[in-house]
Amino acid sequence: MNLVPDSIQQVISEISRLPGYGEKTAQRLAVNLLKMPKGEAVDLVRHLALMLDKVHLCRECGIFTEKEICDVCSDESRDRSVICVVEESFDAFMIENTDKYNGLYHVLGGRLSPLEGIGPEKLNIKSLIDRIKKLNVKEIIFATNPTVEGEATANYIHNLIKNYPITISRLAYGLPFGGILENADDFTLAKALENKQILK
């Protein structure tokens, strides 16, 4: 007979629909929650509900925020002439952690992926162009992922905005700091050579 309790089966089938989760990983998550001390598990679920309730996308840039306008877009001291275009909110959070960037962000909400059925209409591209028109933008920096899809997404948008009188740049390719040269792939090594920095 089928012994799996209905309430567990329901959770497994819903979690296994998340990207990157299969039946087995969903099952492991459900079991881990059930094996946690009850109070901690209940707290975790309460905090999940709270997160879903509080977090939405910034009306201006599309980043995850608990406010209507995020802390970056509402900060008058930021340089509003530069917009850094990222795939996801957490990419912006990472860049912000470097303390080396003082402009605005724009979150696309993904990357072009024909295989997954993600076309330009599913990304926040129109709102980016609206911002370029509305704000006095001088530079767009693409910080999409250094992957084929990330590149294709940047190229697609580049083509749409190339006639505006603005500088368009993208994050540099090169050796990752702390990496081992021997482990770098050909493309990364070729880019590092091409973009070599003159020291003297």
Residues contributing to the site for a copy of itself (CB under 8 A): 1-8, 10-11, 14-15, 18-20, 27-36, 38, 40-52, 54-55, 63-66, 70-72, 88-90, 92-93, 96-97, 109
Q: How far is CA 14 from the centre of its chain?
A: 23
In the complex with a copy of itself, which residue's Cβ is closer, 18 or 148? 18
Euclidean distance between CA atoms 164 and 154, whole angstroms: 16
State the minimum distance, in angstroms, from the CB of residue 20 to a copy of itself.
7
Structure tokens given for 132: 């370029």
State the minimum distance, in angstroms, from the CB of residue 100 to a copy of itself.
13
State the minimum distance, in angstroms, from the CB of residue 24 to a copy of itself.
10
Contact (Cβ atoms closer than 8 angstroms) between residue 108 and residue 153: yes
Both ends of the chain: CA-CA distance in Å?
A: 76
State the minimum distance, in angstroms, from the CB of residue 191 to a copy of itself.
25
In the complex with a copy of itself, which residue's Cβ is closer, 30 or 128? 30
In the complex with a copy of itself, which residue's Cβ is closer, 78 or 191? 78
State the minimum distance, in angstroms, from the CB of residue 140 to a copy of itself.
20
In the complex with a copy of itself, which residue's Cβ is closer, 13 or 195? 13
In the complex with a copy of itself, which residue's Cβ is closer, 98 or 183? 98
Task: Extract long-range pairs of 33-42: CB within 8 Å, 24+ residues apart.
Answer: 34/8
Q: Smallest Cα–Cα separation from 185: which of 177, 200, 175, 195? A: 175
